Amino acid sequence: MEKTVNRPKVKICGLTRIEDADFLNEAGADYAGFVFYEKSRRNVSLKKAAEIAAHLSADIKKVAVTVSLEPAFVKEIETLGFDILQVHGTLKTEVKEMTALPIWRAVNISDTDTLEELFAGNRESIEGYVADGAGYGGGKPFDWEVCSSRVRALSKGKKLILAGGLDAENVRTGIRYFHPDVVDVSSSVEEDGKKSRQKIEEFIRKVRKDEQ
Ligand SMILES: O=C(O)c1ccccc1NCC(=O)[C@H](O)[C@H](O)COP(=O)(O)O
């Protein structure tokens, strides 16, 4: 018998095609992530992101996923109607000061010894922490066993978004470890580098499966 845990919302990250929006609508995702990072294979232009976003159901929140976001880019993201700014790398002071959008601070965990440092600072200006694996959208989990209680404590009072190598097989374990508000996935819901309708549906089904 599985112990009852909270049912988190689901973010599907790295949309690159209009049909990806259809997949999220059909599967009932809660958040859609658009990657603005030139080095990523999931990078999209603002124009392309706007085109895809226009096909999303109104109740799916749009997350702009960025790395060391430049202040000059913030207004453009706001103009396109994004709901949340997700910032990996450095969170610049000017960015915090200039936007009213909720900020999700991503912490890419590679060295568990430095976990506390990753969560340090910026606390008052952020809405949530994305606890993510090493690399950007790398599809690898961090050490849940070593980190879960510390991550829960460090993110207390903020939203916790669990990311990094989640898939339909491990997501319920991740939920039990972290009790996240949101689970965030990209790599495992792809087939040949493209989002897969079937994998997205399967992932969301697993997250929302009734507890027994
Ligand atoms: O996905 C990317 O290419 C990416 C590039 C730059 C910054 C962040 C990126 N993805 C970050 C995410 O939103 C999450 O880490 C992602 O959904 C989890 O990815 P995965 O481990 O592949 O499931």
Residue pair 29/200 in contact (Cβ under 8 Å)? The answer is yes
187 C-beta closer than 6 A to ligand 1: yes
Provide the residue ranges of all domains of the chain, joining segments of one domain with +: 9-211
Separation of 170 CA from ligand 1 center, angstroms? 17
For the stretch 27-62, pLDDT in tens is 999 999 999 999 999 999 999 999 999 999 999 999
Q: Is 107 in the pocket of ligand 1 (CB under 6 A)?
A: no
- Which protein residue's CA is at the shortest distance from atom 19 of ligand 1? 137
Q: Which atom of ligand 1 is nearest to the CA of 139?
A: 21
Expressed in angstroms and rounded, the spacing between residue 150 Cα and the centre of ligand 1 is 22
pLDDT of residue 48: 98
Does ligand 1 lie within 6 Å of residue 137's CB atom? yes
Site to substitute for ligand 1 among 35, 90, 142, most atoms within 8 A of C-beta: 35
Average pLDDT, the chain: 94
Determine if ligand 1 sits within 6 Å of the CB of residue 96: no
For ligand 1, atom 10, name the residue with the nearest CA.
137
CATH fold label, 9-211 = TIM Barrel (3.20.20)
Q: Cite the DSSP H helix spans in 165-209.
A: 171-178, 197-208
The contacts of residue 187 (CB under 8 Å, 6+ apart) are 137, 138, 139, 165
Q: What is the pLDDT of residues 98-144, one digit of tens each?
A: 999 999 999 999 988 889 999 998 888 999 999 999 988 788 999 99
Quote the longest CA-to-CA distance of the chain: 52
pTM for the model stands at 0.95
For ligand 1, is residue 203 a contact (CB within 6 Å)? no
Task: Take residue 55 and report the two structure tokens written for it.
Answer: 């096909």
Identity of residue 96: K
**pLDDT computed for residue 212 by the predictor:** 37
Q: What is the ipTM of this complex?
A: 0.96
